[in-house]
Chains A and B, each alone.
Chain A
Amino acid sequence: MNEKMIQIPFASQEEILALHAGDEVLLSGTLYTARDAAHKRMSELLAKGEPLPFPLENQTIYYLGPSPARPGQVIGSAGPTTATRMDRYTPQLLDLGLKGMIGKGRRSEDVVNAMIRNGAVYFAAIGGAGALLSKAITQSEVIAWEDLGTEAVRKLTIKNFPAIVVIDAAGKSLYT
């Protein structure tokens, strides 16, 4: 396989535009995890005009709620959750500068339009491959909302994390 090596956060918009639906990639760098409960809290903070616990601009969110790490492990099982459930919150985050998302499953038309408008990319990680994907995560730190347990926001460092561009910044989707 000819995977493209991609560094995140992206250094330029051109790098995002060079990604096309169907590209297999290996992602390295840093990103933030957030799923249902964290998205709800972000949305509530934004509604009140308050700052988010992490910067959105140019960042990537991984829709992940990992299983607990055993002693000596960085993280437990760490595969993607269904992105579709985040669709209600996502356009607003894209308009605030979010550039990448990693998850699995379909996105709404509103999300795809916001991706095109802002030049963002949606990667699919393989659902149900959490043990394998955990090996590509080299650091994990809870940075907000520890009370949410698995749904807390984590900052992850990843190295050669396998993913597939499933919807690109032109709105082209690999899903039928």
Chain B
Amino acid sequence: MYAGSSRNVKEISAHRITQAVQELCIEANLSLSDDMKDALLQAQQTESSPLGRSILEKLCRNLEIAENEQIPICQDTGMAVVFLRIGQDVHITDGDLGEAVHEGVRRGYEQGYLRKSVVSDPIIRKNTGDNTPAVIHTEIVPGDTVHITVAPKGFGSENMSRVFMLKPADGEQGVLDAIVRAVREAGPNACPPMVVGVGVGGTFEKCAQLAKEALLLPVNAHSDQEHIRRIEELALEQIRALNIGPAGLGGTTTAFAVHIKTYATHIAGLPVAVNICCHVNRHASREITA
């Protein structure tokens, strides 16, 4: 049926996608990745405000209770953002891929005792009762595996995220100012200490997606481009000086990281998206092979 290339096509059942998404939803909501845990632990040593240290200590205890007693880290278990990187040599069998993801979310949120926080229509606002639909980002890549990341996104911080359509003349300083402004305006509402994901370049929607993807990076990662790394460092320094602190009650631990991802853009534009995440920066990943 696929003459010539059929030998290389790997079949992966949609049921396995459902199973993986289900498990990843629960895993992400009960336990943070080690880099995020370490960042919280370390901040207890470096935070200058006594109240800030007391809050960070409670946040660390919260993580322990969540893991030990299987209580979600935060009651806002998020809208499920699912990233699929699908190898171009993969054929999904046994059903509709999108529905397989939604079914995984449906089962994960029910079996994991996670909060159902999704309304079917933004104006009518009736809860769907099962946290579906998910937001799905699909990318076709070389290879023969399916890589899945589930990143439940809480809206305390999502609401404080911004897109700025800057002018080319705004340059590096404009990008820096946009990042710091978004964090300053987010303040206590975004549950600091935050992780700041930034997308620069592309188009209106491309920069927003880059910003979301930047939140998935290890917390200690830095851009490998020197001029971008400098903006990350300057932004983090200026954010620290805002004195927002843990829970927005003052202190030096306002953001753990500023991650910037870039893309080519148009001669007339400099799009900047700032996607803010709280200290509960959740994501869990798995690779499925045939």
Binary B-proximity of A14-39 (CB < 8 A = 1, otherwise 0): 00000000101000000000000100
Residues of B within 8 A of A127 (CB): 74, 156, 188, 191, 247, 278
A104 and B75 contacting across the interface, CB-CB below 8 Å: no
Contact with A along B252-275 (1 / 0, CB 8 A): 000000000000000000000000
Determine whether the beta carbon of B69 is less than 8 Å from that of A131.
yes
Chain A residues with Cβ under 8 A from B63's Cβ? 131
> How distant is the Cα of A104 from the Cα of B113 in the complex, in angstroms?
24
By the criterion CB–CB under 8 Å, are A132 and B74 in contact? no
- Neighbouring A residues of B191 by C-beta, 8 Å: 104, 127-128
Nearest-neighbour CB distance to chain A for B194, whole angstroms, equals 10
Nearest to B66 among chain A residues (CB) is: A131
User: Is B166 among interface residues, defined by CB-CB distance under 8 A?
Assistant: no
In the complex the two chains form, is B247's CB within 8 Å of A104's CB?
yes
Instruction: Establish whether residues B55 and A77, one from each chain, have CB atoms under 8 Å apart when the complex forms.
Output: no
Cα separation A76 to B59 with both chains bound (whole Å)? 17
| Chain A residue contacts of B51, Cβ below 8 A | 22, 24, 164
Number of interface residues of B (CB under 8 A): 43
Q: How far is the CA of A5 from the CA of B280 in the complex (A)?
A: 29
**Complex contact A128–B61 (CB within 8 A):** no
- Pick the contact of A126 from B76, B116, B244, B247 — CB < 8 Å? B247
Nearest-Cβ distance from residue B158 to partner chain A, whole angstroms? 11
Q: Is the interface of B mostly helix, strand, loop or mixed?
A: loop
Asked if A82 lies at the interface with its beta carbon under 8 angstroms from chain B, I say: yes
CB pair B62–A73 under 8 Å, yes or no, is: no
A148 within 8 A of B: yes
Q: In the complex, which of the residues B71, B117, B154 contacts A134, with contact meaning CB atoms closer than 8 Å?
A: B71
Known: A69-B113, A70-B70, A82-B156. A129 touches B62 (CB 8 A): yes
B247 touches A124 (CB 8 A): yes
Q: Is there a chain A Cβ closer than 8 Å to B58's Cβ?
A: yes
Report the minimal beta-carbon distance from B51 to chain A, rounded to whole angstroms: 7
Answer whether residue B159 sits at the interface, using C-beta atoms and an 8 A cutoff. Answer: yes
Determine whether B249 belongs to the interface, using a CB cutoff of 8 Å to chain A. Answer: yes
CB closest residue in chain B, given A73: B71
Count class of interface residues, chain A: 35 or more
Is A67 part of the binding interface, using a Cβ–Cβ cutoff of 8 Å? yes
Question: Is the pair B74, A124 in contact by a Cβ cutoff of 8 Å?
Answer: no
B249 engages A128 (CB within 8 Å): no
- A105 lies within 8 A of chain B by Cβ: yes
Assembled-state Cα–Cα distance A129/B191 (Å): 10
A61: CB under 8 A from chain B?
A: no
Q: Which residues from 71 to 105 on chain A have a C-beta closer than 8 Å to any C-beta of chain B?
A: 73, 76-79, 81-82, 84, 104-105
CA separation between A73 and B74, bound complex, in Å? 16
**Interface residues as binary, A131-174 with B (CB distance below 8 Å gives 1, 0 otherwise):** 11111000000000000111100000000001010100000001
A-B contact pairs, 8 of them (CB 8 A): A64-B75, A66-B115, A104-B248, A126-B55, A127-B74, A128-B154, A131-B63, A164-B249
The 6 closest A-B pairs by CB, nearest first: A127-B191, A105-B189, A77-B75, A132-B62, A131-B66, A67-B115
